[in-house]
Amino acid sequence: MKSAPKGAVVSASLPKGEKKREKAEERLITVYIMGKAYQVPAESTIMGAIEYAGHMIVRGAGCREGYCGACATIYRLPGDYKIRTGLACMTLVEEGMTLAQIPSVPAEKAIYDIEKLKPNVSAIQETYPVVFRCVACGTCTKSCPQGLQVMDYVQAAKRGDITAIMDLSFDCVSCGLCMLRCPAEITQPLVGILGRRLYGRYLRKESAGLAERVLAVNAGAFEAEYAEMMSMSREDLSKLYYARDSE
């Protein structure tokens, strides 16, 4: 993150000609970014506030919509002892918030050959024996910006319940905030990935729908639609994306 020009409190610059009008309309609040005070719009996300304050985010931003997990943030609120966690692109700023970005959390990633593992507790013992150090404190669950029952999937890993790991960790975006706070230094997102891989390789049911769709793709059923999309402007593609059916 590159820093903005020096100054005790920075009112970030607005587009030319709009400064007065925007200032009249927007309520500004003070937040502290890497220890320095800035005035930012009260309705901003943390990510929007950081950029409004003049910082260029060069690490720690990806999808900007809560999917990629690149924008982990820790923060404190005034008069509150708690260190809170959130995704910068999804969490709104609050008056007096003190922010620090955590674009990645160092982790020891196990190297394994999925073909040589079995979908039971032996796979966990071989790859991530650290899960057996879990003291069931619940800090990981409290830290998860996705609202996942992280402790429960760690417990499932201890039992070798691969289906439960897959189910409970399915919406993990690998932000790393849980492992950052874990007193047993467990790498929860990596355990979740292992569980989902084991499930996909050994336990999932065959999907008839998938087989049919692969046949249709190979038969060229979507060629015309694909060619049309490739010729669309970015704007039209964006409209199409947001108008899509999604679960």
**Binding residues for ligand FES (CB under 6 A):** 61-64, 66-71, 87-89, 173
> Which token pair is 208?
């008839």
Question: CB-based contacts of 188: which residues, under 8 Å, 6+ apart?
Answer: 140, 150, 153, 154, 169, 172, 178, 179, 182
Which pair of structure tokens corresponds to residue 141? Answer: 């669950």
Report CA torsion sign: 215, 218, 223, 227.
positive
Residue 200 interaction partner, one of ligand FES, ligand SF4, none, beta carbon < 5-8 Å per kind: none
Check residue 189 for interaction with ligand SF4 (CB under 6 A).
yes
- Between the CA of residue 73 and those of 49, 64, 65, 105, what are the distances in Å? 13, 13, 15, 11
Q: How far is the CB of 185 from ligand SF4 (least distance, A)?
A: 8
Name the token pair of 24. Answer: 């009249």
Segment lying near ligand SF4 (by CB under 6 A), choices 1-9, 48-56, 134-142, 219-227: 134-142
Cα gap 165→158, rounded to integer Å = 10
Among 151, 166, 194, 198, binds ligand SF4 (CB under 6 A): 151
**Least distance between ligand FES and beta carbon 94 (Å):** 18
The burial class, CB within 10 Å (0-12 / 13-18 / 19+), for 93 is buried
* Residues 160, 172: Cα–Cα separation, whole Å: 19
Min. distance of Cβ 112 from ligand SF4 in angstroms? 19
Q: Which does 140 bind (CB under 5 to 8 A by kind): ligand SF4, ligand FES, none?
A: ligand SF4
Place of tokens 């100054």: 7
For residue 234, how far is the Cα from the chain centroid? 24
121 lies in the site for ligand SF4, by CB under 6 A: no
The neighbour count for residue 240, using CB atoms within 10 Å, is 12
Contact status: 117 vs ligand SF4 (CB under 6 A): no
Measured CA angle at 206 (ends 205, 210), to 5 deg: 130
Q: Please, is 245 exposed, middle or buried when counting C-beta atoms within 10 Å of its C-beta (0-12, 13-18, 19+)? A: exposed
Decide whether 70 or 140 has the Cβ nearer to ligand FES: 70
What's the min distance (Å) between Cβ of 102 and ligand FES?
12
Q: Which of 125, 146, 149, 163 binds ligand SF4 (CB under 6 A)?
A: 146
Nearer to ligand SF4, 10 or 156 (CB): 156
What residues pair up with 9 in beta bridges, in sequence order? 37
- State the minimum distance, in angstroms, from the CB of residue 133 to ligand SF4: 7
The least CB distance from residue 173 to ligand SF4, in Å, is 5
Residue choice 70, 117, 162, 186 for contact with ligand SF4 (CB under 6 A) = 186
The smaller minimum CB distance to ligand FES, of residues 10 and 50, is found at 50
Q: Which residues contact ligand SF4 by CB under 6 A?
A: 69, 134-140, 143-144, 146, 148, 150-151, 154, 172-178, 182-184, 186, 188-189
